[in-house]
Amino acid sequence: MDTACTHTTVLLREAVEALDIQPDGPYVDATFGRGGHSRLILSQLSPRGRLIAFDKDPEAVDAARSIQDPRFSIRHQGFADLGELAAGSIQGVLMDLGVSSPQIDTPERGFSFRFDGPLDMRMDTTRGQSVSEWLADAELQHIAEVIREYGEERFAQQIAKALVARRQERGVPTSTAELAQLVADTVKTREPGKDPATRTFQAFRIFINAELEELQQALDASLQVLSPGGRLAVISFHSLEDRIVKQFIAKHSREVYDRRAPFAPPQVMALESIGRIKPSVQEVAANARSRSAMLRVAQRLSERVAP
């Protein structure tokens, strides 16, 4: 199934503009996807500029090989590995979080309840457990905690009990359709306009790919690799991601005093918040998947001595 042509990059112009591209600079697209942001960044770089892209999805890495440009390179790694780059060497880092349209729209990947496919959900299909493999051995309380914490699902305990009962009777669900039906049979109260399986699918995807843990690692690494004046731009699609990004920027955008040494100079600010941007009405009308997107932007401050 050729899905590359169906992918519409969210906040394309806004995210690249937020990087304040310097033509000779080195930049990072930390989540290549299908390369919408990367191609626009490259179009604004001089022959001396360069762009390093990361993606843990082998299909995304294959798609990146279509970019025949000496200024561009792709790494088959998650963005938590940003810290491998030299400290202070990067002028801008862009992160586009979550799952891409080609991943959602390919049944074999198991990300969506709209298509029947294997219950996989791994971003990197070359390693790690699939959701069905994890469910085969996971304890009831662990399943419930994952659904509750990563899906913010109030029926987490009931869904976990139903999954364990199903496992004991005839094995765990191995397809997306089976999981979606089990959740629908368990969750009797539905949110208007939302499939009852939405939160459970989100929870399992985030957990199986350690998305929130990797995001925190990537944000920490961005502070290390950004040069003074460099920009960080992060697009999130749900409250769990956005909360982490918001708190990270806020934490590093204020001076911190050591209460044990009240007369010592404070730890200086590392970032300055530039602001946040949501998709336009026109973009949401053209691409419904953009409706929950939030772009947050910050700038790396120069090292300075606090007064």
Q: What is the pLDDT of residues 130-142, one digit of tens each?
A: 999 999 999 999 9
DSSP bridge partners of 26: 50
**Mean per-residue pLDDT pooled into runs of 10, the chain (307 residues):** 59 97 98 95 98 96 95 96 97 93 86 92 95 98 98 96 97 96 90 88 97 97 96 96 97 71 64 96 93 96 54
Give the model's pLDDT for residue 263: 57
Whether 125-208 and 4-101+211-300 are alike in CATH topology: the answer is: no
| Residue boundaries of the structural domains of the chain | 4-101+211-300, 125-208
Residue 151: closest CA among 195, 201, 194:
201
Strand order in the sheet with 72-75: 72-75, 50-54, 26-29, 90-96, 226-236, 294-300, 271-277
pLDDT in tens, 150-200: 999 999 999 999 999 999 999 999 999 999 999 999 997 777 778 999 999
Q: Is residue 64 within 8 Å of 202, Cβ to Cβ?
A: no
Interatomic CA distance for residues 243 and 18, integer angstroms: 20
Q: Is residue 131 within 8 Å of 113, Cβ to Cβ?
A: no
Measured in whole angstroms, the distance separating CA 170 from the mean position of its chain's CA atoms is 34
Structure tokens at 225: 């690799």
> How many C-beta atoms surround the C-beta of residue 151 within 10 A?
24
Superfamily classification of domain 4-101+211-300 = Vaccinia Virus protein VP39 (3.40.50.150)
Helix ranges, the chain (H): 12-18, 36-43, 58-64, 101-105, 131-135, 140-151, 156-170, 176-186, 198-208, 211-225, 239-251, 281-286
The whole-model pTM stands at 0.90
Dmax of the chain from CA atoms?
Answer: 68
Give the model's pLDDT for residue 86: 97
Interatomic CA distance for residues 289 and 87, integer angstroms: 35
Q: Is residue 234 within 8 Å of 245, Cβ to Cβ?
A: yes
Place of tokens 């191995």: 174
Q: SS3 of 51, please?
A: strand
pLDDT > 70: percent of the chain: 92
Interatomic CA distance for residues 10 and 83, integer angstroms: 26
Give the model's pLDDT for residue 31: 96
CATH class of 125-208: mainly alpha
